[in-house]
Chains A and B, each alone.
Chain A
Amino acid sequence: MKALYLGTAAMALSMALAGAASAQDQKYTIGISNTVQGNGWREEMICAMKAQALDSGMVDSLNIAHRNTDAAGQLEDIRNLIQAGVDAIVVNPSSADAVNAAIKEATDAGIVVVAVDQAVTEPSAYNISNNQEEYAYLGAKWLFEQMGGEGSVVYMRGAAGAGADNDRDAGFKRALAEYPNVSVAQEVFTGWQQDQGKQQMLDILASGVPFDGVWTSGIDNVIVDAFTESEAPLVPIVGADNAGFVGQLQSVEGLQGAAVTNPGSIGGAGVTLALQILQGQKPAEQTVLVTPEIWDNVSDEGKAKLQGAQNPNLDPEWPVSVSIPDWTTYTTDEVIACKGPGE
């Protein structure tokens, strides 16, 4: 036991000294809190945060709390970041209300808090996020239009109980209400898991339920795979701007579809906003919304967008919109490299 104590102490001390050495500069330290690990979108978000922090030249170190946890775990992570004495915290909140308590503690301690991807209701925090309701509405409207305003659609949602899924559901329902002759043939939760979504689509195809279109909440390329593997006739498919799906929209014969942008690079935008606030440039509004775009492979305009966004170096699960004009300054190669300050 004694040996263990000594070992632990030695390890901790050496780590402490290493940490102290790099804390001499006058630059900022930024904390990051994220609660989903191993998802392409979230990984791109983290890499965008790192790349933007490095590119800005104003960040001394990033303190990243990045694990799979719930809101209570995120409260813990944010409080740990407060203890670490960071200057700003960029958080992808697990829910709009649940982490308010810790965010208030942070802003009370003089820490700038920016919520990305999803807004928080705590008034002392700043928000910069993708408009999730609009995301679903744009894609669903395009799909129903493509179906000629009638028929039935397979509705492949995200994770049951997740805030973004709820917002998207509102947008989908809004579009559905505008097209009274469109009905939902099947509604499933993919849990934003590739394997699960693909299996669900294979099951639906095997069951022979008739449908005229598929709306997916970002689990898209595997759905196209399910169609081609089971040699089923293709129907219009809506997905997100994930690299794999964007590639398919240009290469799969007979596929009509559209990608709705949902940039994971919003993380980089969050870092930019936090740095602006730290330097005294506060935005006019507490919440900044980034509006999604839709790129279809039917119109010439959409085709051009799809072609421009293509990048063979991207992971197929990463969104191709790796940067956001006016908000991110890094290059595509920098975000792919995924290196933060001091790495």
Chain B
Amino acid sequence: MMRGLSRNGWVLGLVGLLILLLIVTKLIQPSFGASGLESVTRAALPFAFATAATAVVVIAGGIDLSVAAMMAVVGVTAAVLMEGAGVTQTWLVVLAVLALGAAMGALNGALVVATRLPDIVVTLAMSFVWEGVALLILKAPGGAATPWLREVILGPIAPGPVVSLIPKSLVVLAVLLMLVWLPLRRSRLGLSIYAIGSDATAAFRSGVSIGATRVAAYAIAGVLVAMGGLSVTLSTGIGEPIPGPYLLAAVAAVVLGGVVLGGGRGGLLGPIVAVFILRIVRLDLTLLSVDPNVTTIVEGTIMAVVVMLGGILAVRGRRA
């Protein structure tokens, strides 16, 4: 009961912080409105998927350092295959790259299980492999995303005084994450993922197949990574073989979002809210025209302070 409360409390606190930041943004820039919200959400999209992927693996007690490199592989594959594609081919490409993401994730997981090396070592090594693969597919930025598919994440859901405040990209993000997360959370697999992250030995004694669950967690993360890679290609319109800055940002958002790095605890909502907080902090720092070298210091400090505060609250909660 107490634990449930404190976890929800953390997410509620993050939501409060997000609302506060939106108000601050409006104060700094009175013209901030629908278009601003829309661009923030669109910018958050790849970070949100990378964060969701990282969250799933971390909850299972692992970590995947090849998230950004896999996104690059998916992004270039999609851009190459979508160049000049029709409607049917475009949807086939979407399905194919989701499967590709699952396969890459599953391979990461299988290697972790088979080699018995720490996740951090295996996935770090794999990140170089995926980086190379992306460059083999496309040696320079190129390819093209199907134009009408790009529209799917562009603009508000409909014109109008209130609905125009809701960007399409936010709906796409929410629907896709729920499609993956809700069934998983209610399934035996979802429970197993939490179980192996929380205490692998206990999970094993309760009849959970640790190896299979771990591979499945990495594969699901791979699907989310594929969505992230696709969202990068859709927003830029081309494929980029050099991985973007998504790995560390995703780990940061996962921690800020209340997922415990040791595994077994946390959800998806907190990390996603954290992604938006980090994006809006960046927007505010740009609006305030803060020295760019100070910007990263401020971002890092906010993360450190919030996470430390969370630690203090957690300790107090346990004592009470």
Q: B-contacting residues of A (Cβ < 8 Å)?
A: 1, 4-5, 8-9, 12-13, 15-16, 18-19, 37, 61-73, 75-77, 79-85, 94-101, 159-163, 165-166
Contacts and interface: CB of A to CB of B under 8 A. Distances in A.
Nearest to A77: B286
Contact of B289 (A5, A62, A73, A99): A62
A95 B140 CA distance: 9
B128 interface: no
22 contacts: A5-B16, A12-B28, A19-B287, A64-B291, A66-B293, A70-B242, A70-B245, A71-B141, A72-B235, A73-B244, A77-B286, A79-B39, A79-B43, A81-B286, A83-B29, A83-B32, A96-B141, A97-B236, A98-B141, A161-B240, A161-B241, A165-B140
For the complex of A and B, the 9 pairs showing the least CB-CB separation, nearest first, are: A70-B244, A76-B43, A66-B292, A79-B39, A98-B236, A80-B286, A95-B141, A63-B289, A161-B241
Contacts of B17: 4-5, 8
Interface in B17-55: 17, 20-21, 24, 27-29, 31-32, 35-36, 39, 42-43, 46
Contacts of A65: 286, 292
A19 B288 contact: yes
**How extensive is the interface on chain B, given as a class?**
35 or more
Interface in B264-320: 279, 282-284, 286-293, 295-296, 305-306, 309, 313
B210 interface: no
Given A4-B17, A12-B24, 20 more contacts: A5-B20, A12-B27, A15-B28, A15-B288, A67-B295, A70-B243, A70-B244, A72-B236, A73-B245, A76-B42, A80-B282, A80-B283, A82-B39, A83-B287, A84-B287, A98-B236, A101-B237, A160-B135, A161-B141, A166-B140
B225 to A, nearest CB: 14
Of A77, A81, A84, A85, most B-chain CB atoms within 10 Å: A84
B140 A80 contact: no
- Main SS at interface, chain B: helix
Contacts of A76: 39, 42-43, 279, 282
A76 B240 CA distance: 16
A4 B287 contact: no
| Most central of B288, B292, B305 by chain A CB within 10 Å | B292
B245 to A, nearest CB: 5
A72 B232 contact: yes
Interface string B214-244: 0000000000000000001001111011111
A15 B241 CA distance: 38
A65 to B, nearest CB: 6
A16 B24 contact: yes
A9 B20 contact: yes
B140 A162 contact: yes
B251 interface: no
A85 B31 contact: yes
